[in-house]
């Protein structure tokens, strides 16, 4: 069996998740009440039996470091290893990273050490379920230089904005790759997941850095559609690209549907995350909860409709939470009404009795706010 190295990339520059991004990289953001976004892609790696994973972080590594070091992603803990590499006034005196390629180059000796045959580069701001071995098998079979995971969408005018769209020939090979400016609804979008040989990866990194200090991996791949044979592998399931606060809100709302959730997370494809050792959730008499997902450790006396409730959230009597995403450790006091809100961690909402956004423009409450 050829050795495969997993590389979890950091978010590209087009990702801007208003509010949430001020406190942690998007990959470390809480989702669905009990996960971090990064859990989905890391579980993709380990469920695909990829044992060596390098996680690249642009900056602010603390929350990711703590989360990953306290989570068992089902690796053999001696043979497998998740290594976090981040920009810093650090190793070889580099500054913070601007683009992914700069980070890869800085840590190329750590990548070389792994002696891998193939490299799978995956994004940290996407949520989807994918067995990477399927892409690798296709990559080998089709004798591609690079294989890109792609997804056909009819929402390209609203989602995946500034991501990469692919133009394919009749063999589903990439003939062009360009930024999505939202001009078409229908498009084939790149899931920013690339399979290639370790050698090709190294060459691309070299080429990118000599071309421009602002070139990213996706830029250099876009340049290579002619000299190289770039194939695609079609992803047909659920995809969320968390590049804006709206996308974050929508992803929570869409995955919370029982059927959708069980397709993404199930016994055959577990999503690993850190345990907090919270007890189950107590629904007191008088509580009304419908159409929601709720993490453990909550105490609910009020009403929760069509929402996502994070770990250890308290909802007091008379409070109404509707169409909202409440991150862990939040306290919602008596008679507070929230609608279409994203409430960041550790907030205490007492004095303001009504906060209302819209589904198109949800309101954001800052981490640790006492309002």
Partner 1 sequence: MKKNNMVAMILAGGRGSRLFDLTKKVAKPAVHFGGKYRIIDFALSNCANSHISTVGVLVQYESILLSSYSARSSTWGLDSKGGGVYVLSPREKDETGLGLYAGTADAIYQNLDFLDQEEADYVLVLSGDHIYKMDYDKMLKVHQESGAEATIAVIEVPMKEASRFGIMNTDKSDRIVEFEEKPKEPKSNLASMGVYIFSYKTLKKYLKDDAKDPNSQHDFGKNLIPAYLRDGLKLQAYRFKGYWKDVGTISSLWEANMDLLKDNSGLDLFDPDWKIYTDDASATPQCIGENAKIDGAFITQGAIVNGEVTRSVVFSGAEIEEGAKVEDTVVMNNAVIGKGAKLVRCLVADDVKVPDGMKLGKKNSEDILLVSKALIAKAGEDHE
Point out which residues bind a second copy (CB under 8 A): 23, 59-62, 65-66, 69, 78, 83-86, 88-91, 96, 277
34 binds, among a second copy, partner 1, none (CB under 5 to 8 A by kind): partner 1
96 binds, among a second copy, partner 1, none (CB under 5 to 8 A by kind): a second copy
CB of 69 to a second copy, least distance (A): 4
In the structure encoding, which two tokens stand for residue 321, read together?
Answer: 């939470």
In the structure encoding, which two tokens stand for residue 257, read together?
Answer: 């549907």
**Residue closer to a second copy, measured from CB, 7 or 221:** 7
366 binds, among partner 1, a second copy, none (CB under 5 to 8 A by kind): none
CB of 319 to partner 1, least distance (A): 16
CB of 24 to a second copy, least distance (A): 9
In the structure encoding, which two tokens stand for residue 332, read together?
Answer: 């919602």
**Residue closer to a second copy, measured from CB, 62 or 158:** 62
91 binds, among a second copy, partner 1, none (CB under 5 to 8 A by kind): a second copy
**Residue closer to a second copy, measured from CB, 286 or 368:** 368
176 binds, among partner 1, a second copy, none (CB under 5 to 8 A by kind): none
Q: Are 42 and 8 in contact (CB under 8 A)?
A: yes
Choose among 299, 257, 345: nearest CA to 364. 345
CB of 210 to a second copy, least distance (A): 24
**Residue closer to a second copy, measured from CB, 96 or 162:** 96
Q: Which helix (H) or strand (E) holds 109?
A: helix 108-112
66 binds, among partner 1, a second copy, none (CB under 5 to 8 A by kind): a second copy
End-to-end Cα separation, the chain, in angstroms: 57
CA-CA distance, 131 to 126, in Å (whole number)?
15
CA-CA distance, 32 to 215, in Å (whole number)?
34
**Residue closer to partner 1, measured from CB, 27 or 48:** 48
CB of 68 to a second copy, least distance (A): 9
**Residue closer to partner 1, measured from CB, 199 or 279:** 279
CA-CA distance, 43 to 69, in Å (whole number)?
14
Phi-psi domain of 259 (left: phi exceeds 0; alpha: psi -120 through 50; beta: other): alpha
318 binds, among a second copy, partner 1, none (CB under 5 to 8 A by kind): none
Going 23 to 25 to 28 to 31, the CA torsion angle's sign is: positive
CB of 85 to a second copy, least distance (A): 7
Q: What count of other Cβ atoms lies within 10 Å of the Cβ of residue 23?
A: 15
- Beta strands 230-234 and 146-153 are parallel
**Residue closer to partner 1, measured from CB, 74 or 335:** 74
* Rg over CA atoms, the chain: 21
Task: State the residues that interact with partner 1 by CB under 8 A.
Answer: 32-34, 47-49, 72, 74-80, 256, 258, 261-262, 265, 268-273, 275, 277, 279-297, 299, 304, 306, 308
**Residue closer to a second copy, measured from CB, 108 or 140:** 108
89 binds, among partner 1, a second copy, none (CB under 5 to 8 A by kind): a second copy
CB of 90 to a second copy, least distance (A): 4
Helix or strand or coil: residue 227? coil
In the structure encoding, which two tokens stand for residue 6, read together?
Answer: 């997993």
153-186 burial code (b ≥16 CB/10 A, e <16):
beebbebbbebbbbebeeeebbeebeebeeeeee
33 binds, among partner 1, a second copy, none (CB under 5 to 8 A by kind): partner 1
Question: Residues for the chain: how many in total?
Answer: 371
């Amino acid at each position: 069996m050829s050795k495969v190295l997993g590389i979890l990339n950091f978010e590209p520059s087009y990702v801007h998740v208003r509010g949430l991004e001020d406190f942690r990289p998007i990959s470390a953001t809480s989702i669905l009440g009990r996960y971090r976004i990064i859990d989905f892609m890391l579980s993709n790696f380990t469920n695909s039996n990829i044992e060596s994973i390098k996680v690249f972080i642009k900056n602010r590594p603390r929350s990711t470091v703590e989360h990953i070091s306290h989570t068992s992603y089902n690796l053999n803990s001696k043979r497998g290893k998740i290594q976090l590499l981040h920009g810093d006034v650090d190793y070889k005196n580099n500054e913070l990273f601007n683009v992914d390629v700069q980070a890869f180059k800085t840590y190329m000796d750590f990548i070389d050490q792994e002696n891998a045959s193939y490299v799978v580069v995956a994004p940290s701001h996407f949520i989807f379920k994918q067995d990477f071995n399927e892409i690798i098998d296709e990559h080998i079979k089709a004798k591609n230089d690079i294989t890109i995971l792609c997804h056909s969408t009819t929402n390209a005018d609203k989602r995946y904005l500034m991501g990469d769209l692919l133009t394919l020939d009749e063999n589903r090979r990439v003939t062009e790759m360009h930024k999505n400016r939202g001009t078409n609804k229908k498009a084939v979008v790149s899931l920013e997941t690339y399979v290639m040989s370790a050698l090709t990866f190294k060459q691309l990194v070299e080429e990118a850095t000599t071309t421009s200090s602002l070139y990213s991996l996706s830029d250099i791949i876009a340049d290579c559609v002619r000299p190289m044979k770039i194939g695609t592998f079609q992803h047909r399931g659920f995809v969320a690209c968390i590049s804006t606060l709206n996308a974050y809100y929508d992803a929570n709302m869409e995955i919370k549907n029982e059927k959708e959730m069980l397709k993404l997370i199930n016994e055959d494809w577990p999503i690993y995350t850190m345990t907090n050792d919270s007890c189950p959730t107590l629904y007191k008499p008088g509580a009304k909860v419908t159409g929601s997902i709720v993490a453990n450790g909550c105490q609910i006396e009020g009403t929760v409709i069509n929402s996502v409730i994070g770990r250890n959230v308290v909802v007091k009597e008379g409070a109404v939470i509707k169409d909202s995403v409440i991150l862990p450790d939040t306290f919602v006091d008596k008679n507070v009404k929230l609608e279409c809100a994203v409430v960041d961690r550790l907030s205490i909402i007492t004095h303001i009795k009504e906060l209302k956004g819209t589904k198109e423009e949800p309101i954001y409450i800052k981490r640790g706010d006492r309002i």
